[in-house]
Structure 1
């Protein structure tokens, strides 16, 4: 399993904010600084395991995940922070986060709902539920950290009704000694729950954010969609897509290259894809189609450049593939979408 690099950056920023040496932790976890830079970069889950292991070794406190989550500075999650802050209300902000949550978290999604007793609830729902006894410490720590980030984010927002949760549910087991979780999170905390969740009272749930900005919200939504990797059926497919993007222009989009980049054998890659109901050739073809649509939709890339970025050095093969995807040539598809501000791409058009 893989997690977005942006989450590692935010986590390291939180460690630094609570007095830990983020650089030392990063190095101890075996994460190169360059790995944190790409907007769509991903890191293996093991890197996050090592980060938390090293942090607990240096600060053995039961509340550390909560402390770190509350301390993550605004902007550490990049566009997603501003997407939430530009929403109309607290409820709308959580819905915006839920839509684009996969950009900062993998393996679970955000479920936002109204509650029977007024107000709302935000739940972290695993994509592949496991029996409670089988959960690992990383999952429980991640749940706690994520909810604390939410509390910290909305506490910092100027609201008519200051943000507070009415209840917090954590998946981790009840600590053996009293902790400061309730004091830090400002709400009663239940441990050993099936799902991690925040309950928010009605007055807070419907509070309008002073930073609401509909125009900025729309721009950020479009940006969040553009930097994504398209619709993926599983974490593995998303990881494969992320590795394919830099390989395509060099004509190296092969299973052996992707497997090497993921740190596994080609046989293992094919086996895991089969287990997920996927085949490498189909993942490659679907991603090429998504990339073609994204690049052509930008309006400033020539048709020849799009073809080269997708790994097609032959015009005939590029046109044939596009017609199979869309039922028309690239130039016909662009014409069907109407004029764009960036102007039409030029170059090889296809017929």
Structure 2
């Protein structure tokens, strides 16, 4: 299960406006609406998609991803935003997104690829083409244009935008925002840029600042590579401890040979809290057990650290929007 930055969730909820209960939606994915906006705070991608689908059940979401994408600001991306801004050309900016996007999401990869019409900026996101994922893809490509327009005097308009999923009832807002034809049911999720557009100089392009920022981002990527095994080991330890109830951070840290303070710091550097990691582990374990008829619901509740089946049912419904019984019926492997 991948993660995305909490910044995306905050932007989507803000774009939905007063028609939704913003504090409740954010709380469901573990975000305190009144807390600081920290792009390094990560949330599970499935929970993010669930949140978008809850919004879609309440309001018309045709223009939601466009509004959210338009609201993204480079300064909110931290060092990655500064590196995008400091690149000397727009094309060089997108090269940095291609390389360093893993600092903000573990579910999306980008690729710049030559195309007969120019260059494709391709978005790849694994998973079923559910509504939440589709909305997220639209917002992501909209934000890619928004940040490009923030670094250039020229109004950036691509040659074409492509989405793999079906079109909404109207695509007028999409074509107005992107300033070009938007094609749905395509073979890729991508933006097509002309060579002339990617060669445009950025307003604040600076080679010296770029070198410093690239060094910083490379260091962050290296740290992620070091900490990824730690996260995997921590999830395994949490899963093994859940049958005895909700594990304590100090206990898991000790088993990994770390102090509670060091464990907390390293998880924070990876964009996670112990609670977020525990909830993600519980959810992954519950979904896996529910796909197999070997265990009863009461046993699964016990194995995932709940003292009562009713508490497990409430938590699982909060995670995925369905009861454990209905999820099992839909996903059971027979």
CA contact (8 A) 1:31 1:47 kept: no
Greater CA deviation, 7-16 or 103-112? 7-16
CA distance in 2, matches of 1:30, 1:226: 28
Equivalence for 1:125: 124
Instruction: Verify: 1:240 aligned to 2:229, yes or no.
Output: no
Pick from 210, 215, 220: which aligns with 1:217?
210
The superposition leaves residues 269-291 of structure 1 with CA deviations (integer Å, 9 ceiling, x where unpaired) of 9x99xxxxxxxxxxxxxxxxxxx
TM-score of the superposed pair, with normalisation by structure 1: 0.62
Equivalent-residue separation in structure 1 for 2:143 and 2:219 (angstroms): 25
Gaps of 5+ in 1: 273-351
User: CA 1:249–1:28 in structure 2 vs 1: closer, same or farther (change >3 Å)?
Assistant: closer
SS at match of 1:59: coil
Alignment deviations for residues 50-108 of structure 1 (CA, whole Å, 9 cap, x no partner):
33134334531312112211122332222211111110111100001111011122223
Partner of 1:150: 144
1:50 aligns with 2:50: yes
Pick the structure with more helix per residue.
2
Q: Please tell me whether residue 230 in structure 1 is matched to residue 224 in structure 2.
A: yes
**Any idea what SS the aligned residue of 1:100 has?**
helix
Match of 1:26 in 2: 26
Q: Could you tell me the TM-score, scaled by structure 2's length?
A: 0.64
Distance in 1, Cα, partners of 2:146 & 2:233: 33
User: 2 CA distance for matches of 1:242 and 1:28?
Assistant: 23
Which of these two proteins has the greater Rg computed from alpha carbons? Answer: 1
Judged with a 3 Å threshold, the aligned counterparts in structure 2 of structure 1 residues 191 and 36 are, in CA distance, closer, same or farther, namely farther
CA contact (8 A) 1:8 1:36 kept: no
Question: For the residues of structure 2 that align with 1:59 and 1:83, how far apart are their CA atoms?
Answer: 36
**More deviation, 150-159/37-46:** 37-46
Which ranges of structure 2 fall in alignment gaps of 5 or more residues?
238-248, 258-262, 264-273, 290-334
Matches within 5 A, 1:1-351: 1-4=1-4, 7-13=5-11, 15-16=13-14, 19-20=17-18, 22-32=22-32, 40-117=40-117, 119-126=118-125, 128=126, 134-159=128-153, 161-228=154-221, 229-231=223-225, 239-240=231-232, 250-253=253-256, 261=278, 263-264=280-281
1:247, CA displacement in angstroms? 7.2
SS of the residue 1:163 aligns to: coil
Query: Could you say what secondary structure the match of 2:110 adopts?
Result: strand
Give the aligned length: 257
Match in the other structure for 1:277:
none
Q: What is the rounded CA distance, in whole Å, between the counterparts of 2:132 and 2:33 in structure 1?
A: 22
Give the distance between the partners of 1:10 and 1:82, measured in 2 at CA: 18
- Distance in 2 separating the partners of 1:157 and 1:18: 27
**SS at structure 1 position matched to 2:67:** helix
RMSD of equivalent CA atoms: 3.8
Residue 226 of structure 1: how far off its partner (Å): 2.7
SS at match of 1:168: strand
Cα displacement (A) at 1:23: 4.0
Query: 2:315 — aligned with what?
Result: none
- The higher relative CO (CA closer than 8 Å, separation ≥ 6) is in 2
